[in-house]
Structure 1
Amino acid sequence: RVEKKDRRNLKMWAEGARESILRPHLPAYMDALERGWRAERDFVREVCNEFHARISWRVADDEEPDEPLPEYDPLATAEVEELDDDETEAKRTRIETLNARINRWLKYRAKKLRRPTTRDRTQDPWGILLSKLAGIKSPPKARQGFQQYMHESYDAEIKPVVEARWKARLVEEDGVDSLKTGKAPNAPFRAQVAREMFKELGDDERDALAQRAKDEAADQRREYLELMKGPPSKAPKNRQACIDNLGTFMTEVLKGVYEYTGLSCFAVFGGPIPMYDGDLRTLTVAYGRNQEPNPCHFPQWSKARFGQDVLDFMRDWLKTAYSQ
């Protein structure tokens, strides 16, 4: 690797001690980005303050500061240097340059780490996962012509033929007594009869059935895309449907976390529940049992303590988070 003093540009300028200051801040910086530009601005300012407190502005770009770096106390008062006018201007310019460089360093690496933020949830793995919580199902493929025929006309036209041929088949294979078993026609048999009857239809009717199958599939696909690309519904009935699915959904998520990490886990949700007229309620989901004679999840281990130390505490907080 080329030494810093021999490099022709400032690429990888933070490598070394400087990066040891900046990199730990990346997760919190990404959280600040999610909260908006003001949060990002304030956070970058804090990072810059720490950087300058631990590495002097006098250290050149191609030099490494002495290590170990001094500890940083955000509450400590910065030392005032005795500088003449030229030095004051040089310090101001240098710090502005470094601040801009730190900002770009954080922004570039956060962009590489962040998942794409798109409202098109069909292209977002997280969006696809959360669509299951909302009960949004992927549209089925277009039916084949004979399947559309079954969909539209099974009871009226196909079922009588299926039952007649099924009875004849049972008698042929097992005799009249086989009719007493009441065995129903299986799916492959029903489909085979439908295929044969579909072939006997006129060309125009077969084409019309195939076209209706394509049109219905296109309509279902369009509706699915509208749901996936739009924002989550805030309608009470839709939110209640999501809440009803939450237990099953989160159990699978926590199960995956447990299987991949080996860590027992639980999640507590709380807020206004539509089915209870907006009353504040809590919901707990847990995965991972202890090794006592009667294994149980964490919330079940001591229901009284969990209710008081976790749920009651959560309910107190909910009162500050929602207006009633």
Structure 2
Amino acid sequence: MVVITTSSKKRKSTKKERGNLRLWAEGAQEDTLRKHLNRVSEARLRGTWAQERAAIQAACNEYHARIPWNTPDHVEPTIVLDYDPKAPTAAEDLTEEEEKEKCRLIAVCNARITRWYTYRIRRALKKQRENTLDPCKNPFAVLLGKLSGLARAPRARQPFQQFQRESWREKIAPIIAIRRAELPPGAPYRAGFRAGVARELFAGLSEEDKQGLRQRATEEADVKKREYLEGLKAEPSREPLDVHNAIWAIHSVIYPILEGIYKRTGLQAHLICGGPTPEFGGEIRTHIISYGENNDTVPVSWAEWDEDRFTKNVRKFFIEYLQTVYTAEDCAAAALPQDVLDTLIHQGDLYTMPEEKPRDVNGPSSNEDDDDEDVNSTDSDSDTDTDVDAVALANAVKKKKARYAKEKGGRGVLMMKEKQKAGNAVDRARARPKPKPKTNAASSATVTQGEVTSMSSARSASFSTTTPLDVPEA
């Protein structure tokens, strides 16, 4: 018996055998071009044609200096010449016909090199998009999703938590009321108390009921996750109310980026953006968010250092440019309708959404811990008692607001109607020497064509504030 074995690898065709220009750059040619690939790619991604052209020109210059211009396409260069970008090009003794042929071949090769870079850059970008088809794995999609108010879908409840949610009023709340009445005066009441009652009642259920609760908890979590993914994949809404909410979320999204730039490079970063602002009738306004302060006695940010110059040379100049970008129709379309404005709370020059009821007194509504109880308890459950009276409810709201103000106080905003009022605040602050804070304050500012409205961090010495930029949900 004769056994014939064949190689599983197909022999690679040579350039001459292929008879086309596919994979024309190999060996020394590819090595020469690939050294400039990152530079060309970065220039193209920046969108600056001048930088891209300069990068491609540098690659072509090195290619023609190393590879003789008259090398046939199917011949692999065996001798690669040295290259010095600062050295002048050596003159060749060519006839007029040869000079024309050289220019023609170089022009053809330059176009081929440009296509070589274009193909590889597009292929790399396409591969990057394919690798991030799952929006949850794309950090940029998740980050920008915050501008649309998207929050990560919560994980599935435990079966006893699902039971607690579905049977709170009928089965759990009455038992908790009895147990609480039996507690001695002054005894601590923690979140684990309610969870313990729920676990005890859940343990007495049949296996069929437990399995049903587990299945319903998983299904509800899957629905929320699906809605979250659809929100990440959907096109951003340009409805005025959605744009309004996105504008006020810019600070919370961009602040970590500006902070990261400073910590990794030592460079102060500033974001200035502007356009029709929905809550001000579509009026063109600018928003400046800065990270870092100077070394004055009372450190201030860039926008606060010389407000007159900044307003004249930056804000107003930017507004003049924005007026050439947006038409009157664009501004009118961006304005919030009057019926929507009527539902917002007017705080000086700041519109915010009215606070929603923080708790559902009819039963549990989320898988978050209560703020007025020990959240460190290992048995903390996800819901609220039904016998919480109005006073206890109000106290819970106050505690949550106080804690939020304490944690987020350094990212507040100050809305002022008169520029003189802001100047007086600066003068008073400068008159009181203070210890130099760390240069990690973020400040924001917004300005109209006539009136200046400023938003500043509490850590910035020029202003003080207690109003948080990202308004908390009660």
For the superposition of Structure 1 and Structure 2, which TM-score range results when normalised by the shorter chain?
A: 0.7 to 0.9
- 1:11 aligns to 2:27 (yes or no): yes
Where 1:271 maps in the other structure, the secondary structure is: strand
Deviations 1:41-95 (A, max 9, x none): x987776566667856855664436534469xxxxxxxxx9632x6534542343
Where 1:116 maps in the other structure, the secondary structure is: helix
The farther-off stretch of 285-294 and 109-118 is 109-118
Q: Look up the match of 2:315.
A: 311
Aligned residues of 1:30 and 1:114 also touching (Cα < 8 A): no
Where 1:291 maps in the other structure, the secondary structure is: coil
Q: Look up the match of 1:148.
A: 162
Q: Which of 134, 141, 149 pairs up with 1:127?
A: 141
Where 1:286 maps in the other structure, the secondary structure is: strand
Distance 2:86 2:190 in 1: 76
Distance 1:205 1:22 in 2: 62
Aligned residues of 1:116 and 1:124 also touching (Cα < 8 A): no
AA paired with 1:293? Answer: T
Q: Look up the match of 1:262.
A: 266
Q: How many residues align?
A: 288
Looking at secondary structure, tell me which structure has more helix per residue. Answer: 1
TM-score (norm 2): 0.53
AA paired with 2:81? Answer: E
Q: CA RMSD in A?
A: 3.4
- 1:28 aligns to 2:43 (yes or no): yes
Deviations 1:249-298 (A, max 9, x none): 22222122222222222111111122223221111111111111111111
Q: Look up the match of 1:247.
A: 251
Instruction: Give the CA deviation at 1:119.
Output: 6.0
Q: 1:210 to 1:236 in 2, by over 3 A?
A: same
AA paired with 2:268? Answer: S
Instruction: Give the CA deviation at 1:167.
Output: 3.5
Distance 1:122 1:23 in 2: 28
User: How do residues 223-238 of structure 1 correspond to structure 2 at under 5 angstroms?
Assistant: 223-238=227-242
- 1:67 aligns to 2:81 (yes or no): no
Q: 1:166 to 1:67 in 2, by over 3 A?
A: same
- 1:218 aligns to 2:222 (yes or no): yes
AA paired with 1:221? Answer: K
Q: 1:53 to 1:219 in 2, by over 3 A?
A: closer
AA paired with 1:207? Answer: Q
- 1:189 aligns to 2:201 (yes or no): no
Distance 1:90 1:240 in 2: 60
AA paired with 1:138? Answer: R
Q: Look up the match of 2:21.
A: none
Aligned residues of 1:143 and 1:214 also touching (Cα < 8 A): yes
Q: Look up the match of 1:6.
A: none
Aligned residues of 2:143 and 2:253 also touching (Cα < 8 A): no
Where 1:13 maps in the other structure, the secondary structure is: helix
Distance 1:50 1:28 in 2: 13
Q: 1:308 to 1:281 in 2, by over 3 A?
A: same
Runs of at least 5 residues in structure 1 that lack an aligned partner in the other structure: 1-8, 72-80, 172-177
Distance 2:265 2:51 in 1: 31
TM-score (norm 1): 0.75
Distance 2:319 2:155 in 1: 46
AA paired with 1:300? Answer: E
Report % sequence identity.
28
Instruction: Give the CA deviation at 1:23.
Output: 5.7
- 1:97 aligns to 2:109 (yes or no): yes
